[in-house]
Structure 1
């Protein structure tokens, strides 16, 4: 039974004061808003905010995607003057990736009297920071399960908050992405007939549910057997929208030369194998745009540790029993999604969803927790957790390694290499995907507010191109709020139609990115301080590979990290010309005059 069902069914008690039924109801509304972003962009922490004055909801907001406007900012803006003296309900403590604390600032400026937080942020560099900042500003803060007691309605709401951000909780507590094992089997436990034929075990309704689940994940994993026998696509079957990375785990690289997964025009494919395996075939895959990652010794845990380093939050395993068994044994499977079809196929040799685990007694069987049941067409969907959710709460042993205006200069300078990737990482504000709007003159010299560095960079790819598709793409990039979605739109078109890229793109793309980074780090004092605090360290964008910057992780490529280090040195030499302050990059330095002049000439007709 879900938290919302429990609350509606009357099986929970309603108490007065902190943690009463009204508080719980508004927290559940915040969870609902937070979950609306499922599948729209790559998985990210889910934030929802509800502003209530008296018994009336006056403002709502939800984070629409990684790097988009904070939910709290949206809700306070909608509430307007009614926010003063009101109460805000947040499913998760704000986390602004060490930048300008936009969410907290919005709540304080809005004059909120009380904040009810469903759960503290699981990541150590955020946990407790926003709560302390709000309390220092004189705002009363109640945390569900701490200040609001336990049991009854508030416990149901707290559980809903935890489930909404389960991937984040697993990442924080296990240092791994949350892994879900999905399979469809017959009533007698078979995932295919004895011949290996498996189309289709489950119903069309169940398959649609799988597509929706894929869209909520960073990656989908299969083994070599699945590629050979099923030739899957592993896409969401959606036109546009987020497509997860597709990962094939194979020790020998014994894979077909032609397969649907080798078509990378709509989704990225990664083959993970052991060093030296079938080198010629690795070259063939690389020529098709498939990324190959080699391990000294491949295992499910090694793969998940690699996925963790890539910044993945959620991974869906759609493999057969030969791979699912070692994944379970390796402790990397956290959740099970089992579709049970009302069919019987029989067969002593017919494959089952989980291979040999070494158990000889039923008492050794692994038990699921938080189990739920629902119908998907004629099938039964059973969902449960192999590893329970961790309860992240602040105690005396927690080390709050926060980044804020006050302590940003105290960050350790002994770190030799600083990786950055997702905006919610410790140094996430360095990412091009963080929520920091920048003002850069448009190509006719008029100041334009871009939602992020990524928006400006992706739109610049098609500057001066009058093809209707390129013009439409630029408009879509400008219109989307999430930098991740802007990147998806721009990268998809440039991959499918390279002829639409501006002719000088390879020559000017680094200068385009540098101009955007200058505008960002000079417009936000806290970001400038963060960048300067990394003095003496190498900055590496923590991506395995990048089609534009090449070899980011190993530090060889001309990537964002290299550009940031150049900008850091430039700021240290200072002062920066006034024309570059506050994001208005009108007078470029160090040879950027050529870039902007060329840039404007290219798009003068658009």
Structure 2
């Protein structure tokens, strides 16, 4: 590569202009292509430019998928050498071998233009420093690169693309969007409560797309009782957001579309001790119930943050939207205004009482846009401005080698992990680390992640054509999130297709895959060993088997297996830690895997 020309070093001349702005917008377009395909995940896009021609492009398809930079370099081939790469977001992955940076260096990219630093502090500045050390000329938006209207607009587009990640990093909350449709005189229903339909079919189609880009959709009990919504995206396949109902008294109908969880998960969030009989009924229908000491919009959003959500869509009425706004958990507003007048002194409005008595107290939106959707007008704006990326002296690390990946500053006694973009995300089953293990015919197969292997194993040895097809689709999926969606959907809809001994062998399925993963990647092995002395906890709020579940009452089998593997890798005895009263000790015996080749029984 060429000599280092970096903004931090004060050497060289930073370039900009219309062409750079156009290329950055193309990177944003690549990033946006994955919207709703696999949530949650940051949106990352990369284009590689040689002269004025784009020679390669890629986008992060989903959580745990191959990096956008790797895709772009592969497409560019030899044309990447000496070229410029435009990235809307600083690379941030948990691979341990820094796959995105390695791809750009290996491809010979000379100049790298990054729209914004990574908002998460454990990634921020790491890739930038590594690229500069490798000799790349790195320019970063807002740090000397960004003069001129076109460039400024492109950098703003980078912020819009990853607004959910920015809100999460700054506020420790998912980004929340309040959506409503109202008439020209500000009503969301007639005085009778009839609300079908306020907006047009074109507007409703736009709502379906917005749902598909969200991790969860929230309604209140009034909406369930009056509208009986389904809250789906109205499309087969693809991402479906979790459906959340907030109800303190739990005075909800026994029959509702939301209680059908055959295709989409439903969570009811309520006050502790509310309507225990109905809670049991919901549990019998497969609906998850989460109790709070005091149910409030902020408490729910804090819980959603711990679940790993990035984006939440509120489709509630005015009774719930008002306290959500007052609780400062609503960041963005989507208001569909239909050219209709319905009148009615008691007709409901989209936002209830906020306690304001003067117009000067009114909340003002920023970055407002107007768009026509069919006969309606869509007004979009932000109640809370999109946070910028805060910089500090520790933002730019000095090394990104495998050894540094294993270093953990101020290591906690309990290490929690969940999503691949967490600080300890490499411990997740959905990190993109291909492993080679046998299929049911004994033939070695490359599985894109532990999650791919685990989901396919549910149907191993089942000769039904649907099970065979699902295994093939799981293996072919781009990312672990999609593999999980396919496997979980079929096992939920057709439990008869799941292998009969699944409950017996599923622990060993993960154990086999974990061993393959951590032995195949030296940096990962070093990283796992570096957690010695800490209890590992898979912090999924909704998984009481593999994770800790809400309030840490789950079995945490994934964390326990990782601690066992850690002990085995260091050549010592198995761990015998305690996580909320649960022993982490397990023993392994036997010799065949889940395809009937090397199964080992795991008793815990």
The answer for the alignment partner of 2:447 in structure 1 is: 450
* CA shift for structure 1 position 211: 0.5
Q: Tell me by how many angstroms 1:542 deviates.
A: 1.4
From 305, 309, 313, the counterpart of 2:302? 305
Report the alpha carbon displacement of residue 17 of structure 1 after superposing the two structures with TM.
6.0
Are the structure 2 counterparts of residues 597 and 183 from structure 1 closer, same or farther at C-alpha, using a change threshold of 3 Å? closer
Answer yes or no: is the 8 Å Cα contact 1:190–1:350 preserved in 2. yes
Summarize the Cα distance change of 1:240–1:270 in structure 2 as closer, same or farther, 3 Å threshold: same
Instruction: Confirm or deny: 8 A CA contact 2:537 2:547 kept in the other structure.
Output: no
- Is structure 2 residue 266 aligned with structure 1 residue 269? yes
User: Which of 450, 465, 470 is the matching residue for 2:467?
Assistant: 470
- Which piece of structure 1 moves more, 444-453 or 323-332? 444-453
C-alpha distance in structure 2 between counterparts of 1:462 and 1:114, whole Å: 47
Residue equivalent to 2:209: 212
Could you tell me how far apart the structure 1 residues matched to 2:439 and 2:394 are? Answer: 50
Which residue number corresponds to residue 172 of structure 2? 175
Task: Indicate whether 1:594 and 2:597 are aligned.
Answer: no
Measured in 1, the distance between the counterparts of 2:190 and 2:595 equals 65
Deviation at 1:560, TM superposition (A): 1.3
CA drift at 1:597:
6.6
CA distance in 1, matches of 2:449, 2:529: 21
Name the structure 1 match of 2:420.
423
Aligned counterparts of 1:53 and 1:401: Cα–Cα separation in 2: 29
- 1:179–1:315 CA contact under 8 A, matched in 2: yes
Q: In the aligned structure 1, how far is the partner of 2:392 from the partner of 2:594? A: 52
CA distance in 2, matches of 1:458, 1:502: 12
Contact kept? 1:324, 1:355, Cα under 8 Å: yes
- Aligned Cα RMSD in Å? 2.0
Question: Aligned match of 2:363 in 359, 363, 366?
Answer: 366
CA contact (8 A) 1:98 1:403 kept: no
Q: 592-601 or 479-488: which moved more?
A: 592-601
1:270 alignment partner, SS class: strand
Q: CA contact under 8 A between 2:130 and 2:399: conserved in structure 1? A: no
Alignment correspondent of 1:196: 193
SS at match of 1:340: strand
2:43 to 21, 46, 54: 46
Task: Say if 1:485 and 1:29 are closer, same or farther in 2 by CA, change over 3 A.
Answer: same
Tell me if the contact between 1:27 and 1:118 (Cα under 8 Å) persists in the aligned partners: yes
1:134 aligns with 2:134: no
Q: Within the alignment, does 1:151 sit opposite 2:116 as a pair?
A: no
Q: Which stretch of structure 1 is more off in the superposition, 265-274 or 391-400?
A: 391-400
Residues 1:459 and 1:105: Cα distance change in structure 2 (over 3 Å)? same
1:64 to 46, 61, 69: 61
Name the structure 2 match of 1:348.
345
* From 280, 283, 287, the counterpart of 1:283: 280
Give the superposition deviation at 1:404.
5.2
Q: Say if 2:95 and 2:431, in contact at 8 Å, map to a contact too.
A: no
Alignment of 1:204-603 (within 5 A): 204-396=201-393, 398=395, 405-412=402-409, 414-546=411-543, 549=546, 552-553=549-550, 554=552, 556-557=554-555, 559-573=557-571, 590-596=588-594, 598=596
1:398, CA displacement in angstroms?
A: 4.8
Distance 1:84 1:142 in 2: 18
- Report the CA distance shift for 1:47/1:478 in structure 2 as closer, same or farther (over 3 A): same
Contact 1:417 1:537 (8 Å CA) reproduced: yes
- C-alpha contact (below 8 Å) 1:438/1:453 kept by paired residues: yes
Offset at residue 555 of structure 1 (A): 5.1
CA drift at 1:545: 2.5
Q: Quote the residue 2:20 is aligned against.
A: 23
- Per-residue Cα deviation, 1:455-491 (whole angstroms, up to 9, x for no partner): 1110110011111111111111111111100000000
Q: Which runs of 5+ in 2 are unaligned?
A: 1-12, 574-586, 600-604
CA 359–404 in structure 1, closer or farther in 2 if over 3 Å, else same: farther
**2:544–2:553 CA contact under 8 A, matched in 1:** no
- The answer for unaligned runs of 5 or more in structure 1 is 1-15, 576-588, 602-606
Q: Is the 8 A contact 1:369 1:385 kept in 2?
A: yes
Provide the secondary structure at the position in 1 that maps to 2:231: coil
How far apart in 2 are the matches of 1:95 and 1:330?
31
What is the alpha-carbon distance in structure 2 between the residues aligned to residue 56 and residue 298 of structure 1?
Answer: 55
Relative to structure 1, the CA distance from residue 161 to residue 149 in structure 2 (aligned partners, 3 Å threshold; closer, same or farther) is closer
TM-score by length of 2: 0.92
What is the match of residue 581 of structure 1? none
Cα gap change, 1:348 to 1:402, in 2 (>3 Å): farther
Residue in 2 that maps onto 1:586:
none
Cα separation, partners in 2 of 1:401 and 1:556, compared to 1, 3 Å? farther
Shift in Å at residue 441 of structure 1?
A: 2.0
Match of 2:580 in 1: none
Q: CA deviation at 1:413?
A: 5.9
Measured in 2, the distance between the counterparts of 1:401 and 1:107 equals 18
Q: How many Å apart are 1:240 and its aligned residue?
A: 1.1
Name the SS for the 2:514 alignment partner. Answer: helix
C-alpha offsets along residues 427-459 of structure 1, whole Å, 9 cap, x if unaligned? 111111111111112233322111111111101
Pick from 154, 158, 164: which aligns with 1:161? 158
- 1:123 CA drift (Å): 0.5
